[in-house]
Structure 1
Amino acid sequence: MNEIISYDIKPTKLIPNSPKQLLLYKNVFVQDGKVDITRVYDTFLKNGWDVQWVTRYGRTQRSHYHPETHEAMIVVSGPGSIRWGVADLDDDDEKHTYGDVREEGGLLMEVNVGDVLIVPAGVAHKNYDPFTANPDFKPLTGKARGIESDDPRAMVQNVELEGFTMMGAYPRGLNWSWEEKGDPSTFEACWNVEVPTLDPVFGVEGGIRKYWN
C-alpha cells in the first residue's frame, strides 16, 4: 500500500457528515493490477467487518448516507467516481449527477482498483460511472444486505467483474439504512456511532485506530 489520505467532510444544512475523517487507502490488496478479492473478503471478516455486497455501478446514484453505521468499500474494478458530502436537490438523476442541482461544496473523487474508502456514519456519498454504457447499478451478490449464497466466500471469489465495481462491508452487528437528507437534530447521533474495535484492513494498528481516536 502506498499511502493513506484523510479528508474532513463538514456538515451541511441537510447532511450530518462527520467530525471523523473520511479515509482513503490507496493500492490495497493489488497484485498484477488486480485486487485479490478473496483476500479482501477474508481480511474484512477477520477484523470484524461483514461483507454484504458486491455491486457494479451505473451512470448515476442517489446521494445518501448511513446514520447508524460506518462503512468500508473497496474498488475491485474501475475506474469510477464518488461525490462526497452533499445532498442532491432534484429527482432528476442526470441533473444532480452531471449538473449542479445539489448542495454547494462537496468533494469529487476519482477512484481506481485497490482504493479502500472508510466512511464514517453520516457522510453522504454517491458512487457512479460517468462513462459506462450500463445505465443502472447491478448488485452481483444479492440485494445488498448480505451475500445471498450458502458459500458467500466462494460467491465473492467467482463474481464476474465489469465496469466500476465495489465491495462493501460494515462492522459486525450493525445494520444500515439509507437516508438522503436529514434534520440537524439527528446529526449528533450519527457523530456518536461507536468506533469499531478493529480497522477493516489494519486490524488493531493504524487506520481508524489512529485517525478516529
Structure 2
Amino acid sequence: MPTKIISYDVKPTKLIPNSPKPLLLYKGCFLRDGKVDAALAFDTFHKNGWDTQWVVTYGHYQRSHYHAATHEAMVVMSGPGRIRWGTADFGDDPERHTYGTASEDGALYTDVEVGDVFVIPAGVTHKSYDFNAPNPDPIQLAGAGGHAIHSDDPAKFVKEVKISGFTMMGVYPRGMTWGWSEGGDHDGKYESVWNVPNPRLDPVLGGDGGINKSWKNQHAIL
C-alpha cells in the first residue's frame, strides 16, 4: 500500500490536452528493504488488469509526449531522476527543450524516489530524464519497441533484470497499447483524449480507492 497519495491538476495548454482527471502519485509502493520488489509490483499490476510493456533506463533527454488512447502507470524502480509534466517541447534541440527554455511555460516537475508510482490519465504529457545519466537517450531493457516484455516468463524477467540509474517500469490497462503524440497533434480534438474510458481497477489499489475515487465521474470499460 502507498504511504501517501498526491493528486496534481494538470490543465490543458495551447498544444497539450492534458486531462480533467488528476495525475496521481503514490508514494512508497512495493518497497522491501528500501528497494522495489519488482515481482510484487508486476503481480499486483497483472492482478488488477494492467500489463507491463516496458522497463526503461532514462538518459539525459526525452521528448515531451503523451498517450492519446490509453492511460498509463509507471513505477520508479531506481533513481534519482526527474519528470516534467504538462507542457510541450519546441524544436528539436534536446539540450534546449530539456534544460533550456524551448518548451511551454507552466510545467510541473517531480523529482522521483524509488517506490513512486505515477498513474497518468490519457493526454497528460511527460518527459523523464536523469541529469547524471552516462547516455543521452533512454535505453529499453525489455526488448525493441517497448510494447511487451519479450520473454517466455515476463514476471521472471522483471524480477531479474539488472537496473541502474533512473529506471521505471510501465504498465497499461489490459488490451491497450501506447502511442506517441506530441504538442499540437490533437489540436481541436482534446475531447477525444479526455473521453478515454477508465479501467475497472486501479493498478495499485484494485477496486479500493485510487482512480475509482479520483476519476469516479468517468465511465468504466465494460
- Fold shared per TM-score above 0.5: yes
CA distance in structure 1 between the partners assigned to 2:113 and 2:197 by the alignment: 29
CA distance in structure 2 between the partners assigned to 1:32 and 1:186 by the alignment: 46
State the match for 2:90 in structure 1: 89
CA distance in structure 2 between the partners assigned to 1:56 and 1:107 by the alignment: 21
State the match for 1:134 in structure 2: 135
CA distance in structure 2 between the partners assigned to 1:183 and 1:27 by the alignment: 34
State the match for 1:76 in structure 2: 77
3-state SS of the aligned residue for 1:86? coil
1:18-74 C-alpha deviation (Å, 9 max, x unpaired): 000000000101111100000000000000001000000000100000000000000
State the match for 1:33 in structure 2: 34
Amino acid in structure 2 at the alignment position of 1:184 = D
1:90-133 C-alpha deviation (Å, 9 max, x unpaired): 10000001001001111011001000000000000001101222
CA distance in structure 2 between the partners assigned to 1:53 and 1:183 by the alignment: 25
State the match for 2:194 in structure 1: 191
How far the C-alpha of 1:183 sits from its partner, in A, is: 3.3
State the match for 2:150 in structure 1: 148
CA distance in structure 1 between the partners assigned to 2:209 and 2:23 by the alignment: 14
Identity %: 59
How far the C-alpha of 1:184 sits from its partner, in A, is: 2.9
3-state SS of the aligned residue for 1:185? coil
Amino acid in structure 1 at the alignment position of 2:7 = S
State the match for 2:61 in structure 1: 60
3-state SS of the aligned residue for 2:188? helix
Amino acid in structure 1 at the alignment position of 2:157 = M
How far the C-alpha of 1:173 sits from its partner, in A, is: 1.0
State the match for 2:106 in structure 1: 105
CA distance in structure 2 between the partners assigned to 1:183 and 1:155 by the alignment: 36
Unaligned 5+ segments in structure 2 are 217-222
How far the C-alpha of 1:150 sits from its partner, in A, is: 1.0
Unaligned 5+ segments in structure 1 are none
Does residue 8 of structure 2 align to residue 14 of structure 1?
no
Amino acid in structure 2 at the alignment position of 1:78 = G
Amino acid in structure 2 at the alignment position of 1:19 = P
3-state SS of the aligned residue for 2:13? coil
Does residue 170 of structure 2 align to residue 159 of structure 1?
no
Amino acid in structure 2 at the alignment position of 1:178 = W
CA distance in structure 1 between the partners assigned to 2:34 and 2:136 by the alignment: 26
State the match for 2:214 in structure 1: 211
How far the C-alpha of 1:134 sits from its partner, in A, is: 2.2
How far the C-alpha of 1:136 sits from its partner, in A, is: 2.0
1:150-189 C-alpha deviation (Å, 9 max, x unpaired): 1111111110010000000000011211001223322111
Amino acid in structure 2 at the alignment position of 1:210 = K
